[in-house]
């Protein structure tokens, strides 16, 4: 009984304090827009205006996330440093530690740039913050508060900082879209230990130089691994009807490409020898750009996506759909044919010149010998 009286006294005290100092015109009835959702790369952050909560008869300690009231890490924190003040909730993106959030993964067939793949995934996280009414009597004069939230994350990306597809669901009061693209990056290296970045000289790489490629995630929730679905090179930084060459598509891999690590950690690594595009043979160097379509798969399901029988292969006659993309790192190779053909022409000129001199000398010698024989 004493605890209930103390709790109610705390509510009244806090209500009066915020009402007089910080609430102002925000001391009003709750509205659907009172909650904001930030879908981060490793956690989800909720912020609920506290003044309407106090107006209804509650405080931050009486806001319960997904019915979990025995875990301090899932409780609200009152933030009076902002105007108007808010109650904040922060919880990780993890199926075992997300403070009761519901996870749902949807699957759909790939379209457009994802036409190669029959299973494109999006993960949705949702839940609700509800009020706990401390009233012990038969009736209550406090309205029940419910704040619903949702975050949707696509699990397929093109690694040149361009998001290919975003799916979202509309759930109750507040939903939002998140993206893991900011955690992903691609790097080119010159060694298999992936410690020395590849520096492309102005005159280009020599053909067959080994290029090591790494796609990695930083500050990403440990729930997901990286799985490269497709990596390809194009002659244009934006692959719009440009020539392309597949280094690999799912289980179909070019014989010169070597896969070192894929789908088993937050790193994916492969290598290939530097090549040139035939259409650029009349240019001094061959320049092309590398792109990788990357899937984030839950650790428990990555092995399923690595089974070739469950993944649709690409029709080799079709090209990537036109897209607006940032340029990836250009790879420049020397066009050795220009050097060898120039050398051949020079060598041929020398041989022809020598033969011409020989013919002239032989002709002159024959003429002199013929005249001497006639005199005899």
Q: Is the Cβ–Cβ distance between 196 and 211 less than 8 Å?
A: no
Q: What is the pLDDT of residue 41?
A: 85
Q: Report residue 173: phi and psi, to 5°.
A: -85, -45
pLDDT in tens, 91-125: 998 878 899 999 988 877 655 555 556 677 888 89
Structure confidence by residue, pLDDT tens digits, 197-224: 888 888 888 889 999 999 998 888 888 8
Distance CA 133, CA 57 (A): 9
Do 183-336 and 2-104+128-152 have the same topology in CATH?
yes
Q: Is 263 left (phi over 0), alpha (psi -120 to 50) or beta?
A: left
320: pLDDT strictly greater than 50:
no
If phi over 0 gives left and psi between -120 and 50 gives alpha, with beta otherwise, what is residue 66? left
Q: What is the pLDDT of residues 330-366, one digit of tens each?
A: 788 777 644 444 444 444 444 445 455 555 555 555 5
Fold of 183-336: Immunoglobulin-like (2.60.40)
Strand order, beta sheet including 77-79: 35-39, 43-49, 86-92, 77-79
Tokens standing for 140? 């209550």
Domain ranges of the chain: 2-104+128-152, 183-336
Residue with structure tokens 């939903």? 175
Tell me how crowded residue 346 is: count the other CB atoms within 10 A of its CB: 10
C-beta separation of 323 from 113 below 8 A: yes
Phi, psi of 19 (to 5 degrees): -65, -35
Strand runs labelled E in 35-178: 35-39, 43-49, 63-65, 77-79, 86-92, 102-108, 120-131, 146-154, 156-158, 176-177
Query: In the CATH scheme, what is the code of domain 2-104+128-152?
Result: 2.60.40
Give the count of alpha carbons within 13 A of 116, CB side only: 27
Q: Which two tokens stand for residue 71?
A: 């875990």
What pLDDT is stored for residue 115 in this prediction? 56
Radius of gyration of the chain (CA): 34
**The two three-digit tokens of residue 110, written as one number:** 């790939």
Mean pLDDT estimate for the chain: 75
């Amino acid at each position: 009984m004493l605890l209930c009286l103390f709790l109610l006294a705390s509510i009244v005290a806090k209500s009066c304090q915020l009402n007089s100092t910080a609430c102002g015109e925000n001391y009003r009835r709750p509205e659907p827009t009172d909650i904001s959702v930030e879908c981060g790369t490793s956690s989800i952050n909720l912020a609920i205006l506290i003044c309407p909560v106090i107006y209804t008869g509650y405080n931050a300690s009486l806001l319960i996330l997904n019915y979990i009231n025995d875990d301090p890490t899932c409780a609200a924190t009152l933030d009076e440093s902002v105007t108007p003040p808010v109650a904040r909730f922060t919880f990780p993106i993890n199926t075992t530690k997300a403070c009761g959030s519901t996870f749902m993964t949807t699957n759909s067939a790939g379209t457009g740039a994802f036409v190669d793949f029959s299973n494109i995934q999006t993960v949705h996280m949702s839940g609700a913050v509800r009020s706990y009414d401390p009233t012990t009597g038969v009736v209550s004069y406090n309205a029940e508060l419910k704040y619903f939230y949702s975050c949707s994350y696509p699990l397929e990306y093109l690694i040149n900082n361009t998001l290919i597809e975003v799916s979202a669901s509309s759930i109750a009061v507040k939903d939002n879209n998140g993206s893991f693209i900011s955690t992903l990056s691609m790097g080119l290296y010159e060694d298999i230990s992936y410690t020395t970045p590849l520096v492309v000289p102005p005159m280009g790489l020599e053909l067959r130089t080994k290029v090591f490629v790494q796609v990695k995630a930083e500050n990403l929730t440990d729930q997901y691994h990286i799985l490269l679905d497709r990596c390809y090179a194009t002659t244009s930084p934006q692959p719009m009807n440009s020539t392309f060459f597949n280094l690999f598509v799912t289980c179909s891999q070019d014989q010169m490409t070597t896969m070192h690590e894929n789908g088993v950690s937050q790193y994916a690594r492969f290598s290939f020898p530097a090549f040139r595009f035939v259409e650029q043979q009349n240019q001094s160097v061959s320049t092309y750009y590398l792109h990788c379509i990357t899937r984030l798969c839950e650790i428990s399901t990555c092995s399923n996506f690595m089974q070739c029988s469950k993944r649709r292969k690409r029709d080799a006659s079709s090209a990537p759909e036109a897209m607006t993309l940032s340029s990836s790192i250009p790879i420049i190779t020397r066009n050795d044919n220009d050097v060898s053909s120039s050398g051949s022409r020079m060598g041929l000129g020398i041989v022809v010149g020598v033969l011409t001199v020989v013919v002239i000398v032989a002709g002159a010698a024959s003429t002199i010998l013929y005249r001497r024989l006639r005199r005899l």
